[in-house]
Amino acid sequence: MATVTNNLTRIHDAEGALTAGNLPAGGAGATANTDIFLQGSQSLGKRITVTATTEGFALVDGADNNCSASGTHVGMWLWVTQYGNLDDLRVALCSGVTPASNYKYWSPALAEYPKLGGWLRVWVENNVGGTTAAGTYTASQTRCYGAMVSFSSAPGGTSPNLILDSADFLSGGGAALTLTGTSGLWSDFTTADENTTNQYGVMRNVGGVFNLFARVRLGSSGSSLVFDDANFTIVFPQQSLVSDSWMGIDVDIQNASSNIDWAGGVIRSSGAKKGDLVSSERRALLTPPA
């Protein structure tokens, strides 16, 4: 049997008693939401109605998270109910217990929001780019994460329409998930990722196609893998806020007992940000089809 090892560090699971702060400061606060959630049994949500400015909130963790290493990526789950009405979307990282005092934000392309709506996992290379909105965001003291939106016209209804669930980070880059053991399949990654408790946001099965949002590793120098899969499709989705080396597949055959085979598979990128395939001998850059 194959085993998936998670190399991510969880910032917060959005469970239990939650502490939140508005971005920017002012207005009603975000509260726990038990109607729309992805993992566990709750999330954090707030109703946003603005059209001229961008507003949101952040979830405050109980301790600092050191996200300062070069290549570190932070991933957060967010939901926008009126996603078709979005005029602006931002994700934010903050230092300290008052998010609006020291935070930085990044704007993913609106086109990256799923066409049918739902949850979006936004991965961002936190030491690159972004806009400092207030104070100083110190990556080694990442205390909270959040989202901000504005709409082209005021949305109707009264329920929370901006939702945050769990967030994780991978310090310094590398593989987010590693597969070892026997009888390995690509679906082992999605079985682990789509578990109600985990929700890593690394590899998801969408309509029979494996969407790979980060890097995974087959085998390791210390643990062997016997892997045999066929007739699969893996796509690296377009993600505007990740580094050029964030998405990929590492094939580690340093262990003498590893045996990794696949046939009839398709592995490709869907946009300008490309995934790659790296073995212990060679590296191939996967480009979108012509």
**DSSP state letters, the chain:** -EEEEE--EEEE---SS-EEEEESS-SSPPEEESSS-SSTT-EEEE----SSS-EEEEEEEEEEE---STT-EEEEEEEETTGGGEEEEEEEEEESS-GGGSEEEE---GGGS-TT--EEEEEEETTSS-EEEES---GGGEEEEEEEEEESS---SSS--EEEEEEEEETTSS-SEEEEEEEE-THHHHHHHTSTTT--SSEEEETTEEEE-SEEEE--SSS-EEEEEES-EEEE---TTS-TTSSEEEE---STT-EEEEES-EEEE-SSS--EEEESS-EEE-----
Residues 20 and 93 occupy one common structural domain: yes
- Domain boundary (106, 140, 170) is at 170
Residues 159 and 192 occupy one common structural domain: no
Residues 16 and 83 occupy one common structural domain: yes
Residues 70 and 132 occupy one common structural domain: yes
At residue 230, the pLDDT reads 97
Is the confidence at residue 287, as pLDDT, over 70?
no
Average pLDDT, the chain: 94
For residue 206 the two structure tokens come to 């969408």
pTM: 0.94
Is the confidence at residue 288, as pLDDT, over 80?
no
Residues 161 and 178 occupy one common structural domain: no
Is the confidence at residue 283, as pLDDT, over 90?
no
Q: Report, as an integer, the average pLDDT of 209-217.
A: 98
Residues 166 and 178 occupy one common structural domain: no
At residue 14, the pLDDT reads 98
Residue 31 class from Cβ within 10 Å (0-12 exposed, 13-18 middle, 19+ buried)? middle
Residues 146 and 84 occupy one common structural domain: yes
- Domain boundary (155, 170, 185) is at 170
Residues 110 and 15 occupy one common structural domain: yes
Q: Report, as an integer, the average pLDDT of 51-59.
A: 93
At residue 282, the pLDDT reads 46
Is the confidence at residue 281, as pLDDT, over 90?
no
At residue 255, the pLDDT reads 86
Range from 104-118, 192-206, 250-264 carrying the lowest mean pLDDT: 250-264
What domain range includes position 14? 10-170
Is the confidence at residue 65, as pLDDT, over 50?
yes
- Domain boundary (122, 152, 170) is at 170
Number of domains the chain is built from: 2
CATH of the domain at 14: 2.60.120.430
Residues 84 and 189 occupy one common structural domain: no
Kindly indicate the confidence band of residue 129, based on its pLDDT and cuts at 50, 70 and 90: very high
At residue 286, the pLDDT reads 53
Residues 152 and 122 occupy one common structural domain: yes
Instruction: Confirm whether 96 is domain-assigned.
Output: yes
Instruction: Confirm whether 4 is domain-assigned.
Output: no
Per-residue pLDDT tens over the stretch 217-276? 999 888 999 999 999 999 999 999 999 999 999 999 888 889 999 999 999 999 999 999
Per-residue pLDDT tens over the stretch 150-162? 999 999 889 999 9
